[in-house]
């Protein structure tokens, strides 16, 4: 019998299991479980000799991902609720070690990996960011006038950026528009999902990094409205170098499955 939690972080949804001591075929399992709910991704908790636990992350198409910001926040809640870790914890990921904190029953914060790559002009006005080394690849582009209501108008642009040869690993395409001071609206077309997702934590963090490097985020704090909810990013840095990226937002346990 396998216990599965169906969770989401600001709408970014995942099927989550405890795989400690098990020998699962994650590639196959991720596809099968994500089909049950149409989830964006699959996550498994495993033993770690470097952190409180290990995170295995897979996209819904069965491809392995380096890390996932909203996934990391959800896995922190899963670990706390299952007694695997306390209110502060460290998660081992393919992109490096990720500290996490429980702020409340539903609210969690993680420290994203600092940029391993940050190129503000990888292709014209499109920036390229990898959080971690190797990191999750992100393209970041300002799209004035972008709204969730007219998102269909930008689907082809998102798909083109996701597959653009300027990004050799492919990229999550993050398109944003300013909505106020230190506030943006973000729409992300994700590789491995091959469509828009309701939120992208590393995408939001990557966008905040680009804005900070461009001098457009002087206070270092960004409020980002995703389709699935509000995510907040706090950037710290010195002498033009980013030293800390904190991602905060809601988590939700939608349903439990026994298979």
pLDDT at 132 over 90: no
DSSP code, position 64? B
pLDDT at 30 over 90: yes
- Among 43, 37, 45, 40, residue whose Cα is nearest residue 60: 40
pLDDT digits (tens, 9 = 90+) for 196-227: 999 999 999 999 999 999 999 989 999 999 99
pLDDT value of residue 135: 83
pLDDT digits (tens, 9 = 90+) for 79-97: 999 999 999 999 999 989 9
Average pLDDT, the chain: 96
Which residues 6+ apart lie within 8 Å of 140 measured at CB?
126, 127, 128, 129, 174, 176, 203, 206, 207, 210
pTM above 0.75, yes or no: yes
pLDDT value of residue 2: 94
Share of the chain above pLDDT 90, in %: 92
Exactly one of 74, 76, 200, 209 is catalytic; name it.
Answer: 200
pLDDT digits (tens, 9 = 90+) for 4-23: 999 999 999 999 999 999 99
* Structural domains of the chain, ranges and CATH numbers in brackets: 3-102+251-258 (3.10.310.10), 115-249 (3.10.310.10)
- Clarify whether 68 is annotated catalytic: yes
DSSP β-ladder status, 3-9 and 252-258: antiparallel
- Clarify whether 74 is annotated catalytic: no
Is the CB of residue 75 less than 8 Å from the CB of residue 82?
no
Exactly one of 68, 74, 76, 209 is catalytic; name it.
Answer: 68
| Structure confidence at residue 139 as a pLDDT band (50, 70, 90) | very high
């Amino acid at each position: 019998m396998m216990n599965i939690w169906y969770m989401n972080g600001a709408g970014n949804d995942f099927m989550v299991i405890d795989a400690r001591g098990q020998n699962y075929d994650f590639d196959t399992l991720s596809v099968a479980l994500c089909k049950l709910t149409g989830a964006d991704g699959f996550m498994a908790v495993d033993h770690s000799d470097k952190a409180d636990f290990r995170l295995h992350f897979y996209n819904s198409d069965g491809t392995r991902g380096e890390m996932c910001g909203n996934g990391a926040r959800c896995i922190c809640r899963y670990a706390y609720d299952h007694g695997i870790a306390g209110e502060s914890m460290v998660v081992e990921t393919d992109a490096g070690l990720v500290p996490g904190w429980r702020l409340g029953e539903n609210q969690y914060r993680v420290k994203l990996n600092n940029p391993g790559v940050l190129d503000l002009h990888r292709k014209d006005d499109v920036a390229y960011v990898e959080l971690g080394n190797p990191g999750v690849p992100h393209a970041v582009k300002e799209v004035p006038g972008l709204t969730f209501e007219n998102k269909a108008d930008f689907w082809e642009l998102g798909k083109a950026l996701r597959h653009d040869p300027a990004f050799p690993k492919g990229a999550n395409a993050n398109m944003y528009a300013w909505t106020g001071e230190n506030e943006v609206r973000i729409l992300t077309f994700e590789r491995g999902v091959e469509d828009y997702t309701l939120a992208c934590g590393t995408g939001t963090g990557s966008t905040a990094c680009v804005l900070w490097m461009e001098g457009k985020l002087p206070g270092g704090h960004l409020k980002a409205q995703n389709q699935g909810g509000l995510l907040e990013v706090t950037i710290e840095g010195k002498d033009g170098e980013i030293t800390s990226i904190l991602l905060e937002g809601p988590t939700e346990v939608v349903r439990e499955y026994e298979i």
